[in-house]
Amino acid sequence: MENRTSKPVQPKPPTLVTSKTLVTIYLTPEDDCSSNPAVTVTLNAKNTATVVPEKVVLHRDFLCHYSPFFNAAFNGTFKEGLTQEMTLQADTTAFGIVAGWFYSQKIEHLGPKSLVLLARVWILAQRFLLPKLQNMAMDEIYQKFYGVAADRTDFDLFGKIACSHVNGKNMLFEMGVDFLISFHEIPVNRWVSRLPHAMDMRQIARHRASNYHVQEEVVSEK
């Protein structure tokens, strides 16, 4: 008799009707307040700068259903599980897109979605263990590079983010290098002169967009 391994069963996604518990996430800037325009900086009596975190309130069931990271934090014995609060270092705009994705499963943003913003979304999705969102962000990055409405205006800043994230050992870095070595007709010298030296690696082979996808777990709903 054939031995078949059953696939894991994923609970149905939560709804706003069934999801009652709220959690609070406080966002602080990653490096400086320039990357987090919504973060407020105040001066106390001693003229010492104090960062006032951005407060975000979300439904716990949505976060924990899609993200093992949040599930372990808010449903575990950590401080976050006891207080239902968490402090994160993250770009507020990028986190806002990630927060919206938990509800809509779409990358939505009222303003333009730049390469830098999409890169930050991809990094947060990796941090929160959201491969589906990583792949959606990567697909949009690919369109920014090669699509009909391509916009590579901030490629130099994208390259710096890709190089600094885990020392360049990531798919953003590979995508950026692939672009540099595949579009010979584009005068990339104006970017290369402003990019970290690590990105100017001509030996990396070309890939297609699917090569930059991460593995998603295939599950069936009840």
Residues 113 and 85 in one domain: no
Q: Quick one: 120 and 179 in the same domain?
A: yes
More confident residue, 123 or 41: 123
- Tens digit of each residue's pLDDT (9 = 90 or more) over 68-98: 999 999 999 989 999 999 999 999 999 999 9
Establish if 149 belongs to a structural domain. yes
Q: Are residues 113 and 170 in the same domain?
A: yes
Buried b (16+ CB within 10 A) or exposed e, 127-144: ebbbeebbbbbbbbbbbb
Q: Are residues 76 and 121 in the same domain?
A: no
The residue with greater pLDDT, 196 or 173, is 173
Q: Are residues 139 and 75 in the same domain?
A: no
High-pLDDT (> 90) share of the chain, %: 50
Residue 53 near residue 86 (C-beta atoms within 8 A)? no
Could you tell me if 23 and 84 lie in one domain? yes
Closest CA to 219 of 64, 7, 14, 11: 7
Q: 28, 57, 90 — which closes off a domain?
A: 90
Residues 206 and 118 in one domain: yes
Is 191 inside a domain boundary?
Answer: yes
- Whether 83 and 131 share a structural domain: no
Domain count, the chain: 2
Domain of 133 in residue numbering reads as 108-213
* Co-location of 154 and 122 in the same domain: yes
In a domain, 130, yes or no: yes
Q: What would the two tokens of residue 161 be?
A: 């983010």
The three-state secondary structure class of 24 is strand
Q: What is the DSSP string of 80-116?
A: HHHHSEEEEE--HHHHHHHHHHHHHSS---SS---HH
CB 48 within 8 A of CB 37: no
Same domain, 57 and 116: no
Strand partners, 25: 56, 86
State whether 154 and 112 are in the same domain.
yes
Query: Which residue has 């973060």 as its token pair?
Result: 39
Residues 6+ apart with CB under 8 A from 148: none
Please indicate, yes or no, if residue 221 is contained in any of the structural domains.
Answer: no
Q: Assess if residue 86 is contained within a domain.
A: yes
Q: Which tens digits make up the pLDDT trace of 111-127?
A: 888 999 999 999 999 99
The answer on pLDDT for 218 being more than 50 is: yes
Residue 104 has pLDDT above 90, yes or no: yes
pLDDT of residue 6: 63
Same domain membership, residue 137 and residue 48: no
Other C-beta atoms within 10 Å of 216: how many?
A: 11
Residue 106 reports pLDDT greater than 60? yes
Greater model confidence, 100 or 3: 100
